[in-house]
Amino acid sequence: MKKIFPIRLLILFFLISGYGFSQSAGTTKMSPFAKRWYLGINLGPDFYYGDLRTKSFLPNKNVSLAGSLFLQYHFDDIFGLRIQLLPGGLNGSKMVEKEGKTIEESFTGIFIEANVNGTVNFFNLFSPGKPERRFFIYGTVGVGYSGWYSKLLNKVYNYDSLSTDNPLKNFHSSLVLPVGVGAIFKISEKIQANVEWTWRSYLSDQLDNTIGGYKFDMVDYLAVGISLRVGGKGKHQKENLNVLDYRYPVYPVTYQQPEPVRTPQAEPPVPVQQSYAQEDYDYVVQIFAFDKHNYSAEWIRKRYKIGREVRREQEGTLSRYLVGNYRDIQSAKALRDEMLQKGIHDAFIVAYKDGVRHHTVIAE
């Protein structure tokens, strides 16, 4: 038991270190979590550790019921902040030898705790965030303050002590250091389920109303719950080609077969009438566009294994990602088909004139 508290402090240290390292690395990956609020409830058993702890996990011995209400904000797809209100019960019991007899020392009580926690999404920390990902593992560390009332159940009062034993002395409070791990499953864009185990170290030995060999009493909490998104938009804001590109004219392109090679005896070549699509344009392939999310061009290139430079074009809050730059439409069409084969189904061709986006090309 005495070794548990240093181990939990070690876990707390590594979680905080991971938090600081990731911030200094300048991570810019985003996901459907980013800039969103979730309101949720949890329910589950809490497990007491202290001077009156039995070795077995038994109801009414050291296991009680607790519930929590929380509000969480996700800064991005990795880091979040959670405010939590946690009330619950306390129970503890231990068989001890006194004056040659084996007796049960036990206590009961209730507590209410308010805390603030930082959360770190490990899945998105160690691998790129994916909009389609639905299951996540996370860690949490924080600080809280708890107040509780507890009393011994088998205390024997002497006649002389009745007048001086004030029940108000059974009220105590202290700081709490929660650290834990959990899992999230996204049921839908607005609803997610979660399970979480937290170790809660009290900076007090009064939780069980007994001063003994353990300097810090503890309560572990196994919570299962559900949360509802209360702010933010629903999905990744990919560019809708039928809406966002209405600001540019769209022209069909007619591909012209190259002229056959003529011998000196052949008739002089007949001039070919130039179509609009054969004017002096540069053709590029647009692969993605996002309205709210901030990806780097290099991250897009690595994520989709694109073996060429990816450029980013910004217009207001809209970020476009482009590849290639050709003077002929056939080369641009071949590159677009290559992107489609990589699973980038929104790839299409855009014509630029003098470095300015001119029109979207409909190419079969």
48 vs 247, more confident? 48
Separation of alpha carbons 256 and 263, rounded Å: 21
Separation of alpha carbons 308 and 125, rounded Å: 26
| Confidence at residue 276, expressed as pLDDT on a 0 to 100 scale | 44
Read off φ and ψ for residue 108, nearest 5 degrees.
Answer: -145, 160
One fold for 4-229 and 241-362: no
Tokens standing for 151?
């009393």
Query: What residue type is 2 in one-letter code?
Result: K
Say which residues have a Cβ less than 8 Å from residue 252's Cβ, sequence separation at least 6.
Answer: 277, 362
Q: pLDDT (tens digit, 9 = 90+) per residue, 34-59?
A: 788 999 999 999 999 888 876 665 66
Statement: residue 356 has pLDDT above 70: yes
Statement: residue 363 has pLDDT above 50: yes
DSSP 193-220: EEEEEEEEEES-S-TTS---S-SS-EEE
| Confidence at residue 83, expressed as pLDDT on a 0 to 100 scale | 97
Three-class SS state of 235 = coil
Statement: residue 10 has pLDDT above 80: no
Read off φ and ψ for residue 21, nearest 5 degrees.
Answer: -60, -45
Separation of alpha carbons 21 and 313, rounded Å: 30
CB atoms within 10 A of CB 128: 15
Q: Among 1-15, 287-301, 306-320, which range has the highest average pLDDT?
A: 306-320
Statement: residue 257 has pLDDT above 90: no
How does DSSP classify residue 161?
Answer: G
| Confidence at residue 33, expressed as pLDDT on a 0 to 100 scale | 66
Say which residues have a Cβ less than 8 Å from residue 99's Cβ, sequence separation at least 6.
Answer: none
Read off φ and ψ for residue 310, nearest 5 degrees.
Answer: -110, 125
Separation of alpha carbons 268 and 259, rounded Å: 12
* Residue (of 170, 193, 156, 176) closest to 41 by Cα position: 193
129 vs 255, more confident? 129
Q: Which CATH class is domain 4-229?
A: mainly beta
Say which residues have a Cβ less than 8 Å from residue 136's Cβ, sequence separation at least 6.
Answer: 121, 122, 123, 124, 183, 184
Is residue 275 within 8 A of residue 359, CB to CB? The reply is: no
221 vs 157, more confident? 221
Statement: residue 269 has pLDDT above 50: no
| Confidence at residue 219, expressed as pLDDT on a 0 to 100 scale | 93
Across 345-358, b (16+ Cβ under 10 Å) vs e yields eebbbbbeeeeebb
Q: Among 110-119, 233-242, 280-289, which range has the highest average pLDDT?
A: 110-119
% the chain with pLDDT above 70? 69
Statement: residue 100 has pLDDT above 80: no
- Could you state, in order of their start, the residue ranges of all structural domains in the chain? 4-229, 241-362
Separation of alpha carbons 29 and 236, rounded Å: 13
Q: Alpha carbon 199 to chain centroid distance?
A: 21
CB atoms within 10 A of CB 229: 22
Q: Which CATH class is domain 241-362?
A: alpha beta
280 vs 250, more confident? 280
Compute the average pLDDT of residues 265-293: 64
363 vs 225, more confident? 225
Q: pLDDT (tens digit, 9 = 90+) per residue, 327-347?
A: 888 999 999 999 998 888 889
E strand residue ranges, 269-347? 282-290, 311-315, 318-326
| Confidence at residue 72, expressed as pLDDT on a 0 to 100 scale | 94
